[in-house]
Every structure is written in C-alpha cells, then in structure tokens.
Amino acid sequence: MMPTVVVHPRAVERARRGHPWIYRSDVVEVGARAGDLVRVLGPNGRAVGEALYSDRSQIALRLLVRGERHADRDWLRERLQAAIALRRGLGIEATAYRLVHAEGDLLPSLVVDRYGDVLVVQALSQGMDRRLGEVVELLAEELAPAGILARNDARVRALEGLERKVEVLRGEVPPRLVVRDRDVEYEVDLRQGQKTGLFLDQRENRWAAARYAHGRLLDCFSYDGGFALQLARRCDEALAVDISPEAAARIERNAARNAIGNLLVHVANAFDFLREAERRGERFDTIVLDPPAFAKTRAALGKALGGYKEINLRALKLLAPGGVLVTCSCSYHVSEAQLLEVVRAAAVDAHAALSLVEKRVQSPDHPVLLGVPETDYLKCLILRKL
C-alpha cells in the first residue's frame, strides 16, 4: 500500500490551478515518512495525484503527477526525455546548459546541468534525494556522460534536514573543465563554483547584451566574468569587479585562455567601487549590474529595493550619453515592474533620460512554468542613456 497524505480543499484548488507545492499548513493527515512517494487525497478521498513528502520543509508535498497516474520509473524516464528533447530543440550554441530545471520541467526539486560530457545533479528535497540513484541510472542510459557529480551542498538541503555534500556518483569528474559558450571558453570548477559551476541562466542575456556593448565596459558583480568575457571583444577596454578573489583569479585565467587582452579585474565591494569611481569622475559606455539576490525573503524586500536603487543610480551617473546599462535582478521577490520602477526613480535622480531596449528573462533552458511564479525569477533590462 502506498503511503497517503490528506490535504485541505485549498490545496486541491491550488493543485488544480497548476502549482505543484502543498504547504504544511494545508496538510490535514499524514500517513507517510520523510521522503516517501505518497498518494495525495482531497478531503473527500479523491486522488489529487502523487507527490514527494517532506517532514521538514514548509513545502510538505511536491506533486509529481496528477489524478490516477503513477510517478514510477517510466514516468521519470519520460520526464527526463522530454527535458532533454527540449534542450536539443533549442540548438544552444554552448556546451554548458541546464538539462532539467526542477518545477519548470515538472520535476520538482531536481536540477541537472550539463558541462560538456559531465552532468551535475542537485536533489533539493527529501523525496528527490531518495530517488537520485534512479535519476542517475536513467541519465546514464539516456546520455552516457563521462561522469555525474552531485552538487548536493545547496543551503536548501539543510531546510530538508539533508546532509550537504559534493560527491561523484558515476564515472569521472575532473577538478576543472572547460566549456564553450559561443566564441568564449570558460574554465569551470564544478565542485566549488557557485551554483553548479556557472550562472547558466544568464547565457542568452549575455549574448543580447553583446549586441549593444561598446567603448569602455564595466561589469559589476562579474563572478568569473560571464558578461565581461562575452562583451570585452566588442569593447575598447573592459573592467570586471567582484568581491571574491577566487572569482577574480578565474576571470584572469579565462581572459588569458581566450586571448582577451583588454580586460582588467578588480577585487572590490561593488558599492564602494561605484561610489569611488563616481568621485574620480570616471565614464563608461557599457555597464552591467548582475548582483546576487538582495531580497532572499519577502521581509527583505524594502532594503533590497534600496540596494538596487543605489547601484543603478551610481551606474547611471557613470554612464556616458549613448551608453548602455544592463541591469539584472535574480530576486524572485522583486518583480520586473519593481525593478523598472527602481531604475526609473534612479534615472530621475541622475537627471538621465533612458530608453528601454529589451526586457528579458532567464535563458530558455530554465523554463518558467505558468502558474508557478517561483520559477520566474530572473529579470534583465537593457537600457540606453539618451
């Protein structure tokens, strides 16, 4: 007999509208243990579907299938095949991209990224953690990768009461490997790099930004140079600023590897750097702002908006007329409308007239699932100073 969980009518309605999460407050009766695959029942005993149960997270249930269907091995294989087929169809001009984007691919709490012939997986719930072995077997059958690494060190695993660890699950995974993204090669440290190694969700925003890049470039919050390396060849000179010395060292190695000779790297707090650059009267023609999520929770929204305003205001003051600002937010709690409003207010303070050239989201290998606002997190605005 399969374990069951009975939920409140509110949860049934939410599931009907397409959201896969059921919160603990909507759980009525639990006949399951941590990480079980469970049958979810409405108060009338009608099947809502099958879900992964967590005894820790506020997200008590993650629905895998609806109605009478079973979330068995065949289902898992089908979902993985559909996710892989979607990426093949995109014809991505890069050897690193996301193969499985969790909820966005109807595989809640599972992330799979491809870096050349190596796969990196993340299981972000108790239930997905338990099925990770099965996922790895199926991925090996479908893709025959040289190695599969689990980057199971994400902080959310602690909320699930899961161990945080990085381990090779199959084959071999080199300490560093090189991937290609259009005409740029990036060195990646899969075990220690942020996320699974690179910020894959910005790939096509970098390509878009490259169309407008010119003159003197400033890439703030550059990490290992995602934007700077794509844009530097189109610019006279480029400066990348990040607070992390390890990231800065990787940008320098990446610049050398790509024979990009006009890229300088500066280790600094971007807030301080922007303030001092303004004091020195510096000018840039292209500025990229891609900060970490300032609003990690809704409670932090007010302060976060202040942070976005400050960096955008300073950037607009540093931007030459005709210059381009690429400004991003990966805070789910900050909407596109709020980011636009922040930039508008900053433009007023900077006495700048701005035109909006592009409103962008995450790359299409990170699909947004309609009805699941949490999958829609990345905003990237491209603006021109008139």
Residues that bind ligand SAH (CB under 6 A): 199, 202, 221-223, 226-227, 242-244, 247, 269-271, 290-292
Smallest gap from residue 267 Cβ to ligand SAH (A): 9
Residue nearest to ligand SAH (CB): 226
Smallest gap from residue 359 Cβ to ligand SAH (A): 18
Smallest gap from residue 202 Cβ to ligand SAH (A): 5
Is 235 annotated in the active site?
no
Q: Nearer to ligand SAH by C-beta: 75 or 271?
A: 271
Smallest gap from residue 125 Cβ to ligand SAH (A): 24
CB neighbours of 253 closer than 8 A, spacing ≥ 6? 187
Q: Nearer to ligand SAH by C-beta: 251 or 352?
A: 251
Q: Nearer to ligand SAH by C-beta: 347 or 380?
A: 380
Which is catalytic among the residues 220, 235, 330, 380?
A: 330
Smallest gap from residue 373 Cβ to ligand SAH (A): 22
Q: Nearer to ligand SAH by C-beta: 204 or 242?
A: 242
Q: Nearer to ligand SAH by C-beta: 170 or 206?
A: 206
Catalytic annotation, residues:
330
